[in-house]
Structure 1
Amino acid sequence: MPRNLTHLLAAFALILLPVMAPAAALVAKVDISSQTMTVIQNGRVTHRWPVSTARAGKWTPRGSWSAKWLSKNHKSSLYNNAPMPYSIFFRGNYAIHGTNQVSKLGRPASAGCVRLHPDHAQVLFNLTRNVGMKNMRVVIQN
């Protein structure tokens, strides 16, 4: 095979690999601008919920991660033992979790985590446990 063709095929493969990679069985897609989470299971939207992300002066990271660890009855070690039920940690101290401040859902209010209604957090937590953390993606975008 000519050398130029080999390089062309290699470049083509690098471009297509992310497209061809299998999709996660479960995706929690957070839209910062609309303060919503869309849950996608096996390529199908199954839930759309209001969330709260970082308030002014705080930051919610943007990007894509797999779930790293789960904590059903977590308490914040950074914020006065604040309850964080059904936590799904995805990047260091950042998690998706339930909140007792449900009246603030739908607008920025957190210190950086993604807050959900506790009932919704429980659903997502159980879905994550069922598919396995490596098969769950957290995607956060503007």
Structure 2
Amino acid sequence: MKVLNCLALVAALVFCLLPDAASAKPVLVATVDISSQTMTVTRNGAVVDRWKVSTAGAGYRTPTGRYRPTRMHRMWYSKKYHNSPMPHSIFFRGGYAIHGTGAVSRLGRPASHGCIRLHPSHAAQLYAMVRKVGPAGTSIVITR
């Protein structure tokens, strides 16, 4: 019985000393600057990509803040907006996502219903990067 209590104590101490995954520094950070309509992607602090985006147009809003991906879909169809295709979707807050768009001529200026739109090839690249490091290793930062 003493051996079991001792093992339980050791296990509890080891668990307490492990770094908390939620507080760990993310490996991948996708920073969206709404004012410049750009996304900068960094890995371990080094810039790896910078792309044009479209965020919320007039009458809509893109939420600001720091998020982790909550779910990902290689292809998603918007239930709210006429079954519109959302390739390589990375959802980060409710129905808000980063995803590819066919409206590439509108990138670089506000045009969405609140999501963050990317060129389809850039959305695929980001999706692959997030899958590689995982949601716990990814941070999405949205600023004005």
Please identify runs of 4+ aligned residues in structure 1 that moved more than 2 A: none
Question: Which of 1 and 2 has greater Rg?
Answer: 2
User: Normalising by structure 2, what TM-score?
Assistant: 0.83
Q: d(CA) in 1 for partners of 2:26 and 2:108?
A: 26
Paired residues in the alignment total: 122
2:81 pairs with 1:62: no
* Alignment match, 1:10: none
Gaps of 5+ in 2: 1-22
2:123 pairs with 1:105: no
Partner-residue secondary structure (3-state), 1:134: helix
Q: d(CA) in 2 for partners of 1:48 and 1:26?
A: 13
Displacement, 1:126? Answer: 0.4
* Alignment match, 2:20: none
* Alignment match, 1:90: 92
* Alignment match, 1:6: none
* Alignment match, 2:140: 138
Alpha-carbon deviations, 1:28-70, whole Å to 9, x = none?
1000000000001111100000000000100000000001000
User: Normalising by structure 1, what TM-score?
Assistant: 0.84
Q: d(CA) in 1 for partners of 2:25 and 2:142?
A: 16
**Could you tell me the percent identity over the aligned residues?**
55
Gaps of 5+ in 1: 1-20
- 5 Å-filtered alignment, 1:1-142, equals 22-142=24-144
One-letter identity of the residue aligned with 1:32: I
